[in-house]
Structure formats: C-alpha cells, structure tokens
C-alpha cells in the first residue's frame, strides 16, 4: 500500500524520490510505503495552504463552525474505522485507540464553539465618542508536526482550533503511522472544508526543516521528543515564527503511606503499561514513600501477571506491541542496563506470555524496584512498558526528587490526606497534576502542557491557549462624528 500526501483537497499524484516502510507492529510485517517529502513537495503544500488562506480567512464564523460540527459528526460515525487504522500501524489495543479518538472528539467539540471563543472586547467612550475594541485575526499558514504515539489525537489537538480561527494548515505526521492523517483529511473534505485549508505532507527531518524555513509558514505546533522539540523551537523562532514545542516526559506518581494501595496499584499498572508505555503522560516512576514500598511493589507485581498482552485486534488484549523493532530493541536494552546498575528486576517483561505473532515487536510489562536517581532507567525517557519504583523516606524527599527532574509534564499523588494533596499541587514544578488520578490530561476546555524540558514556548496546546496561539490581536481605536449634528462633535446633547 502506498501512503502519499494530501495537498489542495486531493491525494498527491507526484512521484516521490524517497519512501519509508510502515509496519504492522503486531506481526512485524511491512504493511505500506509512505512517501517522504522533499522540500519542494512541502512548498507545494504550503502554496496550496497560502492560496486557500486568502479566502478562508474571510469565511464567516457560522461557516467555520458548521464545518467543525459536520467534521465532528463524521469522526464520531467513523471512529471504528479510524481505530482500526491506528491499531494496524501503531499497535495499541482497540480500547486505547477508541480512547484516543474520544479525546480527539472533545478537542473538535471545543472548536465548534469558535463564534463564542473569538469574541473580542469593546469599550464604549474610552474618550468622548471614542470607542476601543479588540479583534482576533488568523495568522496564515500554520504547520503542525506530530509524534507517532497519538496519530489522530495529537493532530486534532491543534488542527480544529487552527482552522476554526481562520488559518490554513500543513500537517506533517509521524512517518511511523501516517495513515490516520489521510483519513482525517478525507473526513474534513467530506465535512465541506474548502480545498487547501487542510493539507498533509508525509516525511522526516527534510520535511520538518522546510516547514521551519518556509517564510509563508507563520506558526508551528510541534509534539515529540525533547531534543527535537528544542531544535524545532530554536530553528522556528530563528526564522521568525511563533512556535510551541511540546517535548518528552518522565512522570512520577507519588504514593503516600495513607493512600489506598489497591487504587494506587491499579493506577500504576494502567498508567504505566497502557499503550505499552508509549504515552507522554504515562507513569514511568512510582515514588513509594516509606513504609509502603514492599506492599505496593507486591500489589503492582500481582496485577502485572494478569495483564493480557497481544495483538490489539484480538478481544481482551490490554497491551499491544511497541511501534517498531528498533524502538523495542532500544527499550529492551534498558532491562540490562537497569540490572547492571543495581536495580532489582522484579518482573522481567521478556518472560510474559504474548497472544500474538512471534515476529511482532513485543516486550511484556517490566518492573524495577530500588531504582537510583543516577541510573539511566531513571534519568532517560524510555517510552516503553518499563516501570521504576524509587523508594524515599518522606513526603519532602518525594517533592525534592520530582522537582529536581528535568522533565515537568505530568505527575500524580495518591493519598487520603487533603492537606498533603493541596500542598503537593502548590509545591510541585510540573504542568499537569493529578490527585488520585494517574493520568491528569486536561479536558479540552483547559489547555495541555508541561513545564521545564517538556515544553518550549509559552503556549500550551488546545483549549484557550490554542485559540490565543492561532490568532493575533488587533486593537482598534475609533471615532465617528455624529451626522445628526452636521458631523460636528458637540459633546453631550443639550436637550436630553
Ligand atoms: P520524535 O521526536 O522522534 O518525532 C516527532 C516528530 O518529529 C515526527 O513527526 C518526526 O518525523 C519528526 N522528527 C524526528 N526526528 C527529527 C529530526 N531530527 N529533525 C526534525 N524532525 C524530526 O518523537 P516520536 O518518537 O514520534 O514520539 C515520542 C515522543 O513524543 C516522546 O518523547 C513523547 O514523550 C513525546 N510526546 C510528547 C507529548 C506532549 O504532549 N508533551 C505528547 C506525545 C508525545
């Protein structure tokens, strides 16, 4: 199967110089070839978006909202088809794919309210007969560059708001699972979005670099690993663009001695191993505050043993394979490095039974205990089904550990003490905090974003920050003379 770009409202008909393999991670087989764009292919998409912007920026708020409502209905009606595409290229199980689409739908629903969201301010008589008001206008062509781990949701964190605000978009999805983006493009076309408003170019660094350099691209929303996020932010801003670049994570879940340990163990397992740990909000470190360590590790191990790992298309599977063989091998290497650094390998994922093809990119859930802060299994973002337990003597030591970490995406505290939870949410230097909630992804009418090395820029994704990011504000100061007084400004009426 060939997977190609979507430019100007239709599938690209050009010939690509380079292509990349796309895999079915559950079988290890190549399932398609994706075209990898050259700079000139990116320019073609940007030109289509630029031409479409001249008209789309004048589309009425009603028209924009109507397209979003129609897109929302189509996405909802076709969500089973999209889930199938996601599972086939990413590997996550059906329920995870369905969950991703549900969160994407919420982001679309937010953008349906665009007439309300774009209301400006108005001050009558700022000076005598002088009115001042603000309007929010679109930027132009915006680039969206997304990671492999949420091939539908992450593009839809940005695209609906960008389009509803009057911009046009060039999306460069991950080359590892590119088909979901083309599916979204077809749905947008069916929803009545004019040609050229939403374009997809597939590719790698070459395509990303051209998006960052093309002067017609006015803003870039990026999500991916921290080194690339930093590069995109620095390069894009150097080229005069507005950039938000969301990076990697190492999310800690602190368990206090008074916590409900069954609840905490359930949460650690679902947040640690859901989507095979390939989530930027996955829990990768459990911080066990003395004396809960032994009991908590026991409860987590018991639950891991019961996890059904296999082909995401098979009923009942709770965790699928990793996205590629290369990524699986990299994650595997941490099992040896953790053990040789002195951590206790409590559960070795290599021994877990797999309900799937032997050639798939498998690694079962893995648990390390007594992990030290200087070990690479603690310092690196592994992005796989490897959960580390760090034991600390006190609440203060837990806060110190989390705050010292270079990442600041998400964190959670499990406790029955409201005062401790309130103190934690106040003291912790992390962008998204859960209290007895392991994966605190904000709902679509808040915004999503981490601190420190987890986000470069000053805007978070979607919600109110999304509308601000995709618009610029203009303030108008206006004076109209009153025609009933011969155009002369008489000040206050004399006979009123
Ligand atoms: P990645 O950084 O490898 O790739 C992200 C995007 O950048 C892809 O479109 C890719 O084609 C492009 N890219 C890759 N290498 C590049 C280079 N050298 N120059 C320019 N562009 C390049 O990330 P990934 O492996 O696809 O996704 C996983 C990462 O994304 C993890 O680090 C995860 O934490 C992060 N992530 C973060 C969030 C968040 O909201 N903070 C959400 C999802 C994923």
Q: Is the per-residue pLDDT at 401 higher than 90?
A: yes
Ligand 1 atom having least distance to the Cα of 228: 2
292/230 same-domain check = no
Model's pTM, two decimal places?
A: 0.97
Ligand 1 atom having least distance to the Cα of 224: 30
What pLDDT band is residue 482 in, cutting at 50, 70 and 90? confident
Once rounded to an integer, what is the mean pLDDT over residues 247-273?
98
**165 catalytically annotated:** no
238/387 same-domain check = no
- How many Å lie between the centroid of ligand 1 and the Cα of residue 309? 25
Long-range Cβ contacts of 460-464 (<8 Å, 24+ apart): 460/244, 460/431, 461/157, 461/158, 461/221, 461/223, 461/244, 461/246, 462/107, 462/110, 462/157, 462/158, 462/161, 463/110, 464/117
Mutate to test the pocket of ligand 1, among 205, 224, 453 (most ligand atoms within 8 A of CB): 224
pLDDT value of residue 488: 54
- How many Å lie between the centroid of ligand 1 and the Cα of residue 273? 20
Please write the tens of the pLDDT for every residue from 50-67: 999 999 999 999 999 999
In a domain, 486, yes or no: no
In a domain, 488, yes or no: no
123/149 same-domain check = yes
Q: Is the per-residue pLDDT at 492 higher than 60?
A: no
94/114 same-domain check = yes
Q: Is the per-residue pLDDT at 496 higher than 50?
A: no
Once rounded to an integer, what is the mean pLDDT over residues 198-220?
99
223/287 same-domain check = no
Q: Is 457 in the pocket of ligand 1 (CB under 6 A)?
A: no
pLDDT value of residue 481: 86
337/267 same-domain check = yes
Once rounded to an integer, what is the mean pLDDT over residues 176-190?
98
CATH number, position 463: 3.40.605.10
Residue 297 structure tokens: 């590790």
pLDDT value of residue 483: 75
Question: Of 383, 406, 435, which one is at a domain's C-terminal end?
Answer: 435
237/272 same-domain check = no
SS3 184: helix
Q: Is 228 in the pocket of ligand 1 (CB under 6 A)?
A: yes
Question: Of 435, 467, 484, which one is at a domain's C-terminal end?
Answer: 435
- How many Å lie between the centroid of ligand 1 and the Cα of residue 397? 32
Q: Is the per-residue pLDDT at 493 higher than 90?
A: no
- How many Å lie between the centroid of ligand 1 and the Cα of residue 147? 4
In a domain, 210, yes or no: yes
In a domain, 217, yes or no: yes
Question: Of 403, 435, 467, which one is at a domain's C-terminal end?
Answer: 435
In a domain, 487, yes or no: no
Please state the φ and ψ torsions of residue 12, each to the nearest 5 degrees. Answer: -65, 140
330/193 same-domain check = no
Q: Is 18 in the pocket of ligand 1 (CB under 6 A)?
A: no
Q: Is 56 in the pocket of ligand 1 (CB under 6 A)?
A: no
- How many Å lie between the centroid of ligand 1 and the Cα of residue 161? 21
Ligand 1 atom having least distance to the Cα of 209: 20
In a domain, 365, yes or no: yes
156/49 same-domain check = yes
- How many Å lie between the centroid of ligand 1 and the Cα of residue 88? 20
pLDDT value of residue 495: 45
Domain that holds residue 89: 2-247+454-476
215/333 same-domain check = no
Q: Is the per-residue pLDDT at 494 higher than 50?
A: no
What pLDDT band is residue 491 in, cutting at 50, 70 and 90? low
350/227 same-domain check = no
CATH number, position 289: 3.40.309.10
Once rounded to an integer, what is the mean pLDDT over residues 119-128?
96
Please state the φ and ψ torsions of residue 126, each to the nearest 5 degrees. Answer: -60, -40
Q: Is 248 in the pocket of ligand 1 (CB under 6 A)?
A: yes
127/224 same-domain check = yes
- Number of domains the chain contains: 2
Q: Is 348 in the pocket of ligand 1 (CB under 6 A)?
A: no
Sheet (strand 122-127) strand order: 122-127, 130-138, 471-479
In a domain, 131, yes or no: yes
Mutate to test the pocket of ligand 1, among 228, 229, 451 (most ligand atoms within 8 A of CB): 228
């Amino acid at each position: 199967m060939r997977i190609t770009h979507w430019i100007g409202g239709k599938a690209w008909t050009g010939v690509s110089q380079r292509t990349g393999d796309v895999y079915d991670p559950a079988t290890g087989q190549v399932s398609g070839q994706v075209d990898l764009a050259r700079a000139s292919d990116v320019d073609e998409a940007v030109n289509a978006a630029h031409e479409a912007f001249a008209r789309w920026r004048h589309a009425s708020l009603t028209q924009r909202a109507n397209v979003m409502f129609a897109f929302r209905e189509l996405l909802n009606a076709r969500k089973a088809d999209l889930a199938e595409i996601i599972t086939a290229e990413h590997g996550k199980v059906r329920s995870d794919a369905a969950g991703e689409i549900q969160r994407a739908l919420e982001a679309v629903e937010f953008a349906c309210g665009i007439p309300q969201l774009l209301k400006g301010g108005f001050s009558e008589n700022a000076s005598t007969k002088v009115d001042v008001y603000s309007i929010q206008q679109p930027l132009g062509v915006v680039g969206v560059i997304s990671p492999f781990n949420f091939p539908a949701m992450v593009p839809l964190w940005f695209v609906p708001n960008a389009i509803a605000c009057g911009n046009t978009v060039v999306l460069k999805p991950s080359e590892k699972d590119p088909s979901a983006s083309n599916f979204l493009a077809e749905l947008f076309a069916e929803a009545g979005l004019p040609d050229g408003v939403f374009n997809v170019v597939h590719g790698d660094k070459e395509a990303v670099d051209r998006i960052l350099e093309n002067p017609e691209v006015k803003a870039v929303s990026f999500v991916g690993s921290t080194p690339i996020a930093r590069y995109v932010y620095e390069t894009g801003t150097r080229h005069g663009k507005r950039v938000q670049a969301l990076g990697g994570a190492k999310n800690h879940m602190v368990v206090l001695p008074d916590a409900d340990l069954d609840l905490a163990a359930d949460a650690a397992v679902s947040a640690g191993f859901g989507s095979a740990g390939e989530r930027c909000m996955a829990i990768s470190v459990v911080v066990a505050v003395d004396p809960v360590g032994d009991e908590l590790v026991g409860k987590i191990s018991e639950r891991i043993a019961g996890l059904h790992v296999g082909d995401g298309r098979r009923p009942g599977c709770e965790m699928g394979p990793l996205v590629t063989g290369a990524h699986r091998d990299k994650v595997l290497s941490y099992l040896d490095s953790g053990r040789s650094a002195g951590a206790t390998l409590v559960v070795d994922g290599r021994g877990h039974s797999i309900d799937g093809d032997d050639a798939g990119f498998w690694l079962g859930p893995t648990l390390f205990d007594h992990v030290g802060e200087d070990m690479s299994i603690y310092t690196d973002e592994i992005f796989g089904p490897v959960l580390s337990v760090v034991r600390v003597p006190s609440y203060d030591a837990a806060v110190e550990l989390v705050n010292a970490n270079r990442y600041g995406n998400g964190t959670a505290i499990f406790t029955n003490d409201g005062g401790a939870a309130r103190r934690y949410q106040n003291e912790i230097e992390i962008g998204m905090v859960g209290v007895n909630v392991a994966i605190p992804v904000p709902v679509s009418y808040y915004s999503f974003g981490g601190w420190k090395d987890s986000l470069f820029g000053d805007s978070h994704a979607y919600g109110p920050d999304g509308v601000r990011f995709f618009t610029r504000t203009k303030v108008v100061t206006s004076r109209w003379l009153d025609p009933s007084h011969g155009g002369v400004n008489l000040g206050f009426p004399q006979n009123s």
